[in-house]
Amino acid sequence: MSIPTLPIERPTLADQRPPTDAVVFDKVELAFEQNTVLDGISFRLAHGETKAIFGVAGSGKSTILKLALGLLKPDAGRIVVLGEDITRMKEDQLFDLRRRVGIVFQESALFDSLTVRENVAYRLMEEGDIPEEEIEDRVREALSFVELERTVDLYPSELSGGMRRRVAIARTIITHPEVLLYDSPTGGLDPVTSNTIIELLVKQRDVYKTSSLLVTHRLQDAFTMGTHYFDRRENKMKPLPPDSRAEVPMGFLVLRDGHIIFDGDLKELRDTQDPYIREYIS
Amino acid sequence: MELISPTDFVKSKVQSVQEYALLAVRSVGNLFNRPLYVADIVQQADLIGFGSLRIVLAAVFFTGAALALNSASSLQRFGAMTVIGQLVSVGIVRELGPVLAGLVVAGRNASGMASELGSMIVTEQVDAMRALGTDPMKKLVTPRVIATIVMLFFLTILGDFMGLFGGAFVVSLVLRLDTHQYWSSTWQTLEFSDVFTGLAKPVVFGFIIATIGCYYGLSTKGGTQGVGRATTEAVVASMILIIAVDVFITRLLMITLGT
């Protein structure tokens, strides 16, 4: 797959990445009181890969994302993110790592007392030593990536659900994180808006080569990501020829009762004989 | 209602105390760690201080007036109306000014903090803040603690003056006594220990209000219903603590200052 360079592309850390996985879960266990959510799950997310995580409600999909960011601590097992073992890291140490990892929350989690500009610029303003002009430029660039440049002065309450998700994506990508975690980014949205969001995710994957974990209930979204690429020349998502689909760095995980019952690519998922997974994807 | 075992009940209470203690210690410890969110401190000071000004002044003014009226009916029997200023000043400055200001700010701001932070918890804004590399303790808790302590201190001073004016209002317009005598007895009665006691209390009360409000807000569970519950519990806990701690501070300062 040969993809020409777009003006928005800039050199990323992708080119200097060490030969390790972006995220590693090794026999991770977590229970809330008496309820076991994750029971010894292990998987690897390679650099540049996007892995979609499926599972019924309450199967621990969002929990995996929070664990990967250190927002929750596992009861047992080991989690390595960008080469750093975060399992026993203290909160202060995690703040440095979180500058390299971004998350888009299920309900966007925008700060409702801040404007879109302030939300998107939040992380840059927290750095404290970035000039105003540079912040403004980067906010415009991030908002242009999600095609919401006109909303800079609006508050989150003035935006639609889909626009809020896109602002959340802009807030996350403004620092060009090496790993992105998406928690149901299309949940509750209409098909057209969902498609726009998925196109942004594909764009992020193919333009910035960002490693991503995507939690979703919508199988068609993950399948779209596995069967499409982002054409930088035409600046839109296009379907891949069937014989090129294996080139897309896209994996799938299926969770059931705290265990991973499937970890493979799109072809393996379609060919699986597991009756539960067949029923799930049918 | 779900029944829980006594052991689990005690464990959960001990855990709550532990979590509150950790929050309280970290809120103070963050004063010495960068960054210090000065803009947030100023914003909270405006919200807490100027926002509560009218209600604190009104509450202490009318309490001062009521105290003067009640004192007058008792003092008249002993022909000791001249000491009315002493009673009002000591009562307001040592006790009623700081406690009333504390209770008013607790009712207004502990609830506000609990509901604001609780809403941020249920909408994952606090998690988002952590994910964006900000320590919520530094950004949300410490500014509220500093602002509440500082503003309650000054609100109490202003409230004390209003309480004394309330007493003067009754002395002058209702009891038709000499206000000059009222003010001079008020002024001469107050000693260093009275003023110190009256100004030490708002510092402790401010700390209680902010830490309790933030603790209940950040411990919110269970969606919007949980926010409502956290708000109510924050107000109840902070008010009870203010009234209970007041007794201990009063006694402690009496021993310390030898009064």
- Give the chain A residue nearest B33 (alpha carbons): A92
Option in B35, B124, B129 nearest A128 (CB): B35
Range of the domain at B228: 38-257
Residues of chain B positioned with their CB less than 8 A from the CB of A128: 35
- Do B209 and B236 touch, CB atoms closer than 8 A? no
pLDDT band at B1 (very low <50, low <70, confident <90, very high): low
- Cβ pair B132:A123 closer than 8 A: yes
A92 at B interface, C-beta within 8 A? yes
Q: Is residue B193 part of a domain?
A: yes
CB–CB of A107 and B124 under 8 A?
A: yes
Chain B neighbors of A71, CB-CB under 8 A: 127, 130-131
Q: Which two tokens stand for residue A132?
A: 């105003």
Minimal C-alpha gap between B159 and chain A (Å)? 31
Annotate chain A with three-state secondary structure.
Answer: CCCCCCCCCCCCHHHHCCCCCCEEEEEEEEEECCEEEEEEEEEEECCCCEEEEECCCCCCHHHHHHHHCCCCCCCEEEEEECCEECCCCCHHHHHHHHCCEEEEECCECCCCCCCHHHHHHHHHHHHCCCCHHHHHHHHHHHHHHCCCHHHCCCCHHHCCHHHHHHHHHHHHHCCCCCEEEEECCCCCCCHHHHHHHHHHHHHHHHHHCCEEEEECCCHHHHHHHHHEEEECCCCEEEECCHHHHHHCCEEEEEEECCEEEEEECHHHHHHCCCHHHHHHHC
The reply to whether omega before B35 is within 30° of 0 (cis) is yes
Q: How much of chain B, in percent, has pLDDT values that exceed 90?
A: 69
User: Which amino acid does the sequence have at A118?
Assistant: E
Asked whether residue A3 carries a pLDDT value surpassing 50, the answer given is no
A57 class by beta-carbon count within 10 Å (0-12 exposed, 13-18 middle, 19+ buried): exposed
Residue B23 lies in a domain: no
pLDDT at B2: 67
Class of the CATH-defined domain A1-7+48-100+178-282:
alpha beta
CA atoms within 13 A on the CB side of A117: 12
**Segments in chain B forming alpha helices (H):** 6-29, 38-45, 51-78, 84-90, 97-105, 111-122, 125-131, 136, 142-173, 179-189, 192-218, 223-257
State the Cα–Cα distance between residues A278 and A258, nearest whole angstrom.
19
For the stretch A122-166, pLDDT in tens is 999 988 788 999 999 999 988 988 888 888 999 999 998 889 988
What residue of B is the nearest CA neighbor of A126? B134
Query: What pLDDT is stored for residue A139 in this prediction?
Result: 93
Of residues B127, B128, B135, nearest to A95 (C-beta): B135
Q: Does A175 touch chain B (CB under 8 A)?
A: no
CA A12 to the chain's CA centroid: 17
Average pLDDT, chain A: 85
Structure ipTM: 0.82
How high does pLDDT run on average in chain B? 92
- Cβ neighbours of B5 in A, within 8 Å: none
Entry pTM:
0.85
pLDDT (tens digit per residue) in B239-255: 999 999 999 999 999 99
Contact assignment for A122 to B124 by CB distance below 8 Å: no
Structure tokens belonging to residue B97 = 């000014």
Strands A84-85 and A76-81, bridge-based pairing: antiparallel
Question: Is the per-residue pLDDT at A93 higher than 90?
Answer: no
Query: Model confidence at A278, in pLDDT bands (50, 70, 90)?
Result: confident
Backbone phi, psi, residue A264, to 5°: -170, -170
Q: Do A112 and B131 touch (CB under 8 A)?
A: no
In chain B, how many domains are there? Answer: 1
Say whether pLDDT at B54 is over 90: yes
Crossing angle between the packed helical segments A191-208 and A161-173, to the nearest 10 degrees: 10
Q: Does any domain span residue B8?
A: no
Report yes or no: A218 at the B interface, CB cutoff 8 Å: no
pLDDT tens digits along B117-173: 999 999 999 999 999 989 999 999 999 999 999 999 999 999 999 999 999 999 888
Give per-residue pLDDT as tens, B190-232.
889 999 999 999 999 999 999 999 999 999 998 889 999 999 9
pLDDT at residue A11, rounded to an integer: 44
Rounded to whole angstroms, the Cα distance separating A181 from A172 reads 9
Chain B residue numbers touching A101 (CB-CB < 8 A): 131
- Interchain proximity B133–A126, CB inside 8 Å: yes
Q: Are the Cβ atoms of B131 and A102 closer than 8 angstroms? A: yes
In this structure, chain B runs to a length of 259
- A10: pLDDT strictly greater than 60: no
Domain ranges of chain A: 1-7+48-100+178-282, 109-176
Q: Hey, are the CB atoms on B132 and A109 less than 8 Å from each other? A: no
